[in-house]
Amino acid sequence: MDRIRITGGNELNGTLPISGAKNAALPLMIASLLTDDTLTLDNVPHLADVESLIRILGNHGVDYSVNGRRENQQKGYSRTIHFTARSIVDTTAPYELVSKMRASFWVIGPLLARMGVARVSLPGGCAIGTRPVDLFIDGLRALGAEIEIEQGYVNAKAKNGLIGNRYVFPKISVGATHVLMMAAALAKGETVLENSAREPEIVNLADCLNAMGAKISGAGTDTITIEGVTSLSGARHRVIPDRIETGTYAMAVAMTGGDVMLEGAQADLLEAVLDTLEQTGAEITRTNSGIRVRRNGAGINPVDITTQPFPGFPTDLQAQFMGLMTMAKGRSHITETIFENRFMHVQELARLGANISLSGQTAVVDGVSELRGAPVMATDLRASVSLVIAALAAQGQTEVNRVYHLDRGFERLEEKLSACGAVIERISS
């Protein structure tokens, strides 16, 4: 099993390219099931989750081809992939595939909308708390689907097609908003989704579906209206830059000091995060080509955060921010409101010398003047990279084990950080 070795203490300086967003690419790839034409996606990151989903889509009959990076293109840039679901050969998404990645459950919406039937295993994914599929099921039932859960599978039918309806999400869910938006695109009549997620990835999917011939308005607000159409065509669409990767590397610079241009990053995708980083003492410059992050050696100011749905501070950057706060000049409070079990990185950060205590859903972080390298273990995708951030500033060597979590969400992490001066290497078992 691979691990990453980091020798801390170096500033980060240079240019770091931001890849396409994993959380945008996955639903866009799944949208290819809605049409028998080719959907071409640009800026798709090369990640373990993307490769897993390609295999899952292939199980349903989706063909794909990849345009690799040009010979002189800088490392770290993503790919163009063409997806063609000419015919759906299987409407079952089996446990052995879905259990490896939660987002693969989302195929239930397009399969049901296009084929009138879907049998999808209940999902797996990161162990960061219970993430039930009740909202997906209730929403699809509101569109006329007949659904039963049997032996670990969700069996869904809509023999005469889905019917547009009004559905109010009882709580905000990015995944359920993705699924119902895709399903409603081919439903008969109008669907209105209220209390919808507002994340940029929702907007990116809506823009893609509209390019395919869907009639969707209101994406990015809490009310999305979809006028169903009889069929969708192919299209070409670009995956937005990864705001979580952007925020992660911005925090790494704030942690180590230095001056890095995050090339291709879009500030409007994470303004709450950038505002918070400025409060810590980092200097943030928004440009047409990306985001420049600098810290000139001054200390890190403690800042309190509470995770919230977009446009608030994202839960997917909570662990990374905690890593940054371990060396702040004082006490900070980090409150997690999205997932109930997303503090598993605390004990691993403590191995590096962090002083963190937990009180319910709030972590109290008392900054220390020095962290020291130690062997640590990644527990999930975002927790793993919080350990990298801390290790970059720690004295001595840190080895991060179980880096397959990192490979799920960060494209060429070692190469990108090494190019900016980090001493970091992958060690293969």
How is the beta sheet containing 3-7 ordered, strand by strand?
Answer: 375-377, 397-401, 3-7, 423-427
3-state secondary structure 118-176: EEEECCCCCCCCCCCCHHHHHHHHHCCCEEEEECCEEEEECCCCCECCEEECCCCCHHH
Residue range 376-384: mean pLDDT, rounded: 83
**Percent of the chain residues topping a pLDDT of 90:** 84
Question: Does 23 belong to an annotated binding site?
Answer: yes
Q: What is the pLDDT of residue 382?
A: 74
Q: What is the pLDDT of residues 361-371, one digit of tens each?
A: 999 999 999 99
Question: Are the C-beta atoms of 376 and 399 separated by less than 8 Å?
Answer: yes
* pLDDT confidence band for 404 (50 / 70 / 90): confident
Q: What is the pLDDT of residues 268-307, one digit of tens each?
A: 999 999 999 999 999 999 999 999 999 987 899 999 999 9
Say yes or no to pLDDT of 397 above 60: yes
Q: What is the pLDDT of residues 308-320, one digit of tens each?
A: 999 999 999 999 9
User: In angstroms, what is the C-alpha Rg of the chain?
Assistant: 21
Q: What is the pLDDT of residue 335?
A: 96
* pLDDT confidence band for 78 (50 / 70 / 90): confident
Residue range 380-391: mean pLDDT, rounded: 89
Say yes or no to pLDDT of 321 above 70: yes
Question: Does 44 belong to an annotated binding site?
Answer: no
Q: What is the pLDDT of residue 76?
A: 45
Query: What are φ and ψ of residue 375, in 5° steps?
Result: -70, 135
3-state secondary structure 313-358: ECHHHHHHHHHHHCCECCEEEEECCCCCCCCCCHHHHHHCCCEEEE
Highest mean pLDDT among 31-45, 61-75, 332-346 belongs to 31-45
Peptide bond into 94 cis (omega under 30): no
How is the beta sheet containing 92-93 ordered, strand by strand?
Answer: 92-93, 117-121, 153-157, 146-150
* pLDDT confidence band for 125 (50 / 70 / 90): very low
Question: Does 67 belong to an annotated binding site?
Answer: no
Q: What is the pLDDT of residue 71?
A: 40
* pLDDT confidence band for 23 (50 / 70 / 90): very high
Residue range 113-139: mean pLDDT, rounded: 78
Say yes or no to pLDDT of 399 above 90: yes
Question: Does 380 belong to an annotated binding site?
Answer: no
Superfamily of 3-18+241-427 according to CATH:
Enolpyruvate transferase domain (3.65.10.10)
* Distance between CA atoms of residues 273 and 285, nearest Å: 13
Q: What is the pLDDT of residues 155-177, one digit of tens each?
A: 999 999 999 999 999 999 999 99
The domain ranges of the chain are 3-18+241-427, 22-238
Residue range 71-97: mean pLDDT, rounded: 82
Please give the single-letter amino acid code of residue 245.
Answer: E
Q: What is the pLDDT of residues 351-364, one digit of tens each?
A: 999 999 999 999 99
Say yes or no to pLDDT of 233 above 80: yes
**Percent of the chain residues topping a pLDDT of 70:** 95
Q: What is the pLDDT of residue 77?
A: 61
Q: What is the pLDDT of residue 46?
A: 92
Q: Record the pTM.
A: 0.94
Q: What is the pLDDT of residue 129?
A: 41
* pLDDT confidence band for 68 (50 / 70 / 90): low
Q: What is the pLDDT of residue 1?
A: 78
Averaged confidence pLDDT in the chain: 93
The reply to whether 3-18+241-427 and 22-238 are identical in fold is yes
Question: Does 157 belong to an annotated binding site?
Answer: no
What CATH number has the domain spanning 22-238?
3.65.10.10
Residue range 337-356: mean pLDDT, rounded: 90
The residues carrying an active-site annotation are 126
Residue range 42-61: mean pLDDT, rounded: 94
Residue indicated by tokens 């034409």: 37
Say yes or no to pLDDT of 263 above 50: yes
Say yes or no to pLDDT of 108 above 80: yes
* pLDDT confidence band for 344 (50 / 70 / 90): confident
- Residue 116 vs residue 72, higher pLDDT: 116
Question: Does 172 belong to an annotated binding site?
Answer: no
Q: What is the pLDDT of residue 339?
A: 77
Residue range 182-203: mean pLDDT, rounded: 98
Question: Does 303 belong to an annotated binding site?
Answer: no
Q: DSSP string spanning 381-414? A: HHHHHHHHHHHHHSBSEEEEE-THHHHHH-TTHH
Question: Does 338 belong to an annotated binding site?
Answer: yes
